[in-house]
A and B are shown apart, each in its own frame.
Chain A
Amino acid sequence: SSGRCWYHRARGWRMAGAVPFVFLHAEMVAELGARDTDTDPGPGGQKRSLEGTGFRVGQALGEREELDALKFLCKDLWVAVFQKQVDGLCTNHQGTYVLQDNSFPLLIPMALGLQYLEEAPKFLAFTFGLLRGALRTLGFESLVTSSVATLPACKFQVVIRKS
């Protein structure tokens, strides 16, 4: 192959899984580095394929962090405040998550008192703020809504806002 390729000293990496990535990166730079200069001379275009690839990897890893934040809500936060975990978590993999609680403690007194379903929102407002606040501290802006079909079961819908 023409030119020189620099390879990181692999033994310095604690985690073996990162090693093939380092070598792949070197090959990507060797293959695409010169190529990008040919195809797009615009600003930022010179390393377009390389940067675009990095961007996609960053997005994927960031999404993992988002999921971890939601898991924190469902386990640690819920246990701290409600002494139980959320019963189910779903996502559409596009930033919307639904937390399902089959027996939401703040709705139980209301259920027992046979209140009207349309009064449920005032019993959920605090928890909306709780979720939003926790996510803000974890670095995410969000919008929280809910749906209550049968007391005391409740679904919280969390939409992570992309900035």
Chain B
Amino acid sequence: WRGIVLPGTESCSELFTLTYGALVTQLCKDYENDEDVNKQLDKILFSDFLPRGYNIGVRLIEDFLARSNVGRCHDFRETADVIAKVAFKMYLGITPSITNWSPAGDEFSLILENNPLVDFVELPDNHSSLIYSNLLCGVLRGALEMVQMAVEAKFVQDTLKGDGVTEIRMRFIRRIEDNLPAGEE
């Protein structure tokens, strides 16, 4: 008999951000005695680990499509809605708002009250929040590429840097046509 509440979906949706925050904190500690700790960390988190966000996105989209039963999006506006209201909600437990559409309808912003990736990380002062925020951008890019959309995603505002909100800017580059590699039937 225990009066403890078992973890519900809320705890689960924090697991990803909690783990990534812990990873960054741990790496900071592991390299704190290195002569060039900043350079080491930048390398690991930026160039070594960052591409792995893309890998995560590429796998995540398959799970998302199976789990959400969302059909094909007809335009970028629909895509934005699905990303914010379904995907973010399902996997991170938050629903960003969609704002700042470009006149051509090929760019929009996701506004988050807080940066979900920073909730659980203890960052040394001299490290830019962009170091780990870019993992999320990689996830978005990888996932959308698997549904034939080449996009750019980047953090343009961050509450950790003193901005009022955290803002991810999404830009549609082009539709990816199915290309068979040279030599295949």
Closest-CB distance, B25 to chain A (whole angstroms)? 6
Q: Is the CB of A19 within 8 A of B91?
A: yes
User: Hey, which chain A residues are within 8 Å of B4, CB to CB?
Assistant: 65, 68-69, 72, 138
Are A20 and B3 in touch, CB under 8 angstroms? no
A112 — which chain B residues lie within 8 A by C-beta? none
Does B15 lie at the interface of the complex (its beta carbon under 8 Å from any beta carbon of A)?
Answer: yes
With contacts A20-B60, A76-B3 taken as known, whether A31 is within 8 angstroms of B49 at the C-beta atoms is yes
B residues within 8 A CB of A60?
18, 22, 120
CB distance from B20 to the nearest CB of A (A): 6
Complex Cα distance A137/B63, Å? 40
Tell me what chain A mostly uses at the interface: helix, strand, loop, or mixed. helix
The docked-state distance in angstroms from the alpha carbon of A144 to that of B145 is 57
Task: Tell me how far the C-beta of B110 lies from the nearest C-beta in chain A, rounded to whole angstroms.
Answer: 16
Residues on the A chain within 8 Å of B14, using CB: 17
Question: Which secondary structure dominates where chain B touches chain A?
Answer: helix
Binds A, one of B5-13, B75-83, B95-103: B5-13
Closest to B120 in A: A60
Point out residues on B near A: beta carbons under 8 Å: 1-5, 7, 9, 11-16, 18-20, 22-23, 25-27, 29-30, 44, 48-49, 52, 55-56, 59-60, 62-63, 66-67, 90-93, 120, 139
Known: A23-B56, A23-B59; 19 extra A-B contacts, CB below 8 A, are A10-B66, A16-B91, A17-B16, A19-B91, A20-B56, A20-B139, A21-B16, A23-B60, A24-B56, A52-B26, A53-B22, A53-B26, A57-B19, A57-B22, A60-B18, A61-B18, A69-B4, A138-B2, A139-B2
7 closest cross-chain pairs (CB), A and B: A17-B13, A17-B12, A72-B3, A56-B22, A27-B52, A10-B63, A20-B16
